[in-house]
């Protein structure tokens, strides 16, 4: 809903997700949220907004930022959920910025202690692309891919060929 009003959360992380009485999820701590048209460009300095491990690369670059920053953070949240750690970690902010600028996003399939389906790994990968144009453009696209996965179909993130689609058809 927030993205439809041009509001970006800027700090999506596990600590900001609450689970309600009926299993519903709430995104809290909107203290850093801003309207996309009002976002300032962040230069590499100590005033970097967000939590290391969940910050999109464009927050440290001179490019204008938008709601795709939250999509990157959602990918990091998915990684955290499956691996119990952030996808990128470092001893200090400078080292973190260096790793992030080098596009060092780890493999979800290799780092997770559980077996991660290819579809989920591709959703993570698409969320966490260094180039925002290569990510999902809307949160609804992630939801659509998750719905496809849970229904036994190939996700759009997979860009599945005929063989993969036939395998999934057979499993359904």
Active site residues: 11
Cβ–Cβ < 8 Å for 77, 12: yes
**Measuring CA to CA, how many Å separate 45 from each of 5, 10, 21, 50, 105?**
29, 17, 40, 13, 22
Of 61, 54, 17, residue with least CA distance to 39 = 61
- Measured distance CA(137)–CA(16) in Å, rounded: 22
For residue 26, the surrounding DSSP H or E stretch is strand 25-27
- Measured distance CA(5)–CA(18) in Å, rounded: 22
Cβ–Cβ < 8 Å for 110, 128: no
- Cβ–Cβ contacts within 10 Å for residue 19, how many? 9
- Measured distance CA(29)–CA(12) in Å, rounded: 9
């Amino acid at each position: 809903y927030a993205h439809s009003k041009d509001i970006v959360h800027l700090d999506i992380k596990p600590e900001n997700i609450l689970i309600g009485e009926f299993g519903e999820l709430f995104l809290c701590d909107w203290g850093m949220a801003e309207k996309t048209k009002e976002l300032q460009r962040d230069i590499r300095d100590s005033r970097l907004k967000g939590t290391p491990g969940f910050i999109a690369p464009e927050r440290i670059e001179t490019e204008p930022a938008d709601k795709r920053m939250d999509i990157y953070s959602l990918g990091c949240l998915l990684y955290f959920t499956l691996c119990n750690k952030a996808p990128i970690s470092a001893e200090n902010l400078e080292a973190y910025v260096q790793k992030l600028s080098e596009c060092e996003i780890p493999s979800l399939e290799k780092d997770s202690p559980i077996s991660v389906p290819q579809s989920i790994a591709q959703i993570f990968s698409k969320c966490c692309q260094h180039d925002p144009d290569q990510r999902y453009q809307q949160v609804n696209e992630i939801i659509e891919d998750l719905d496809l996965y849970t229904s036994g179909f190939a996700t759009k993130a997979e860009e599945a060929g005929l063989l993969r689609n036939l395998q999934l058809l057979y499993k359904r």
